[in-house]
Structure 1
Amino acid sequence: MSKTILITGAGSGFGKAAAIGIAKNGHTVIATAQVSSQVTPLREEAAALGLKNFRAERLDLTDPYDIRQAQGWDFDILWNNAGMGEAGPVWEIPIDLVRKNYEVNVFLPLILTQGVVQKWVREGKKGKVVFTSSMGGLFTPANWGTYVSTKHALEAFAEAMQQELAAYGIKIQTINPGAYYTGYNETMADNPFRWLDDSKNFTRRADLRKGFDDFFATPEGKMDPKEMIDHMIEIVPADTGKFRNVVPKAIENMLKDHQLKAWENRI
């Protein structure tokens, strides 16, 4: 059955590719981007592909007027995909950057979601909300703690809402990608170097850079995003499926093993 799906963060990366793929499968897509300059290229690309069921709009989550407008649109599924990331040592990162990461990844999507689901409840509409979380929503590697803690928070909100909204027929779901090569993780890894200062901080810039570079050089740090996009195209419109969706399977197995070992972790 064809759905209408609002996607945030569809100007690039997973969101853009999955939005196009979902529209190709016959669903109506409202693909939103943070900045106006991303909207016209999205419209042009959709038109070139002949996608008459693809609508591109601006939705800057930091703009309350944009959020209010989007909450008034008619759609069946809200996919909270937009996000950003701050990396670096948690014990040294400036707190204002931590707050910013929570604002973009947690508080603003929650504001959007509250307005949408409350409208659905008033109307008796049985919709679905999907959150793009991360493999990092289920474990915490060093120097990624700020970003992944926002995803831990999303996991908690999603799990609570799944229980709270079940009586209203509203479904909640998360998608938890591994470290796919979209440019998102690489951009996040660059962010600490705008504040990390060898004359002030204990963490050395060269050491942090080497750690990031070593990770991105591994197969696990540079996976082909097509695998994840193909899964997103199937997961997001579906009426049934798992609450949590970790891709690839090897990462799911790693996370399960990590969570079991956490019970025996000693100081």
Structure 2
Amino acid sequence: MTKTVLITGAGSGFGRLTAFDLSRQGYRVIAGVQIWPQAWQLRQEIAAEGLENIEVIKLDLLDDIDRAHALRYDVDVLFNNAGVAHSGTLTDVPMSLLRANFETNVFSVMELTKGFIRQMIERGNGKIVFNSSDAGLQTPPFGGAYSATKYAIEAIAATLREELKPKGIAVATVQPGLYLTGFNDTALEASTYWYDPETALLPGWEPPFTLAGQEDPQGMVDVIVKVITGEIATYRNVYPPSMEHETREVQAAEWDLTV
């Protein structure tokens, strides 16, 4: 039987590429996008690729109507991919943006996930994959707001893994490092809209708004697809390997840090 995967944030980046790759492997994909123009654009791209087993739906995680519509689908795997990033020093990032980051990346994700958990428990099986981040395991400067949301996702995923295991539901996480999807660069540039050097306590980002060392996202997508399909069975999946090595070193060093 063909398995169905629902992907949030499928309008671009990891979500879009994962939807296409899963479709090519024969999976039925429900591709959720935030706004209607993204739905139109993605449908044109799907048609151009000749893919027939991707259904595009509008799924703004903050929209009650959109979430209710998504929950009409019976899915085998939920890939929680959608998210936003607000960058800047925690001393200066507006509280409204910090709250907005949690609303999108944590609270709305959990609300959608709880709906599918009920469905999966009734069926007796299912899988939930969270797109966390390497920033959910180590915290870079200027990234505290985003990291805080991903640390929260790490805690949520770890808890659900234990709570849902007896119900036949698997939980896994993926932790991308630096990939060139546009997500990182726009997060840096967006901070210039609110940053005021006259009132800020600490320096902000300066152009160019492009992080060095970002890699081709396809390598991470290959890992995500294998986690979704079960070819990779590990719970935590930091990639690339160099980022996993760095993260392990940073976490180990924290035990010896002094104030």
TM-score band, normalised by the shorter chain?
A: over 0.9
> Residues of 1 paired with 2:157 and 2:123: CA distance?
20
* Structure 1 residue 182, shift from structure 2 partner: 0.6
SS of residue matched to 2:129: strand
SS in 2 for 1:216: coil
Amino acid at match of 1:87: S
Cα distance per residue 1:176-200 (max 9 Å; x no partner)? 0001011000011112211110121
Secondary structure of the residue aligned to 1:72 is coil
**Deviating more after overlay: 224-233 vs 174-183:** 224-233
* Residue deviations 1:1-22 (CA, integer Å, cap 9, x gap): 7420000000011100110011
Task: Kindly report the root-mean-square deviation, in angstroms, between the aligned alpha carbons of the 2 structures.
Answer: 1.5
Question: Who is 1:202 aligned against?
Answer: 201
1:61 and 2:58 are equivalent in the alignment: no
Q: Are the counterparts in 2 of residues 5 and 237 from structure 1 also a CA contact under 8 Å?
A: no
Q: Aligned match of 2:226 in 217, 224, 234?
A: 234
**Distance apart, 1:44 and its partner CA:** 2.1
The answer to whether the Cα contact below 8 Å between 2:91 and 2:202 also exists between their aligned partners in 1 is no
In structure 2, the gaps of 5 or more residues are none
- Structure 1 residue 129 and structure 2 residue 128: aligned? yes
Q: Give 4+ residue runs of structure 1 displaced > 6 Å after superposition.
A: none
1:133 and 1:209 map into 2 onto residues whose CA distance is 26
Provide closer, same or farther for how the CA distance between residues 193 and 131 of structure 1 changes in structure 2, counting only shifts above 3 A.
same
Looking at secondary structure, tell me which structure has more helix per residue: 1
Aligned 1:1-267 pairs, distance under 5 A: 2-121=2-121, 123-205=122-204, 208-209=205-206, 216-217=211-212, 219=213, 222-238=214-230, 241-267=233-259
Query: Whole-Å Cα distance in 1 between the matches of residues 198 and 29 of structure 2?
Result: 49
Query: Is 1:3–1:237's contact at 8 Å kept on the other side of the alignment?
Result: no
Q: Is the 8 A contact 2:74 2:119 kept in 1?
A: no
- Distance of 1:237 and 1:112 partners within structure 2: 21
Aligned partners of 1:136 and 1:204: how far apart in 2?
21
Secondary structure of the 1:32 match is strand
Distance in structure 2 (CA, Å) of the matches to 1:79 and 1:32? 10
Query: Does structure 1 retain, via aligned residues, the 8 Å contact 2:176–2:240?
Result: yes
- Aligned residues: percent identity? 38
Q: CA deviation at 1:124?
A: 2.7
SS at match of 2:229: coil
Counterpart CA distance in 2 for 1:127 and 1:177 is 23
SS where residue 244 of structure 1 aligns?
coil
Write the letter of the residue equivalent to 2:4: T
Q: Distance in 2 between matches of 1:235 and 1:181?
A: 21
Between stretches 240-249 and 153-162, larger displacement belongs to: 240-249
Moved more, 237-246 or 161-170: 237-246
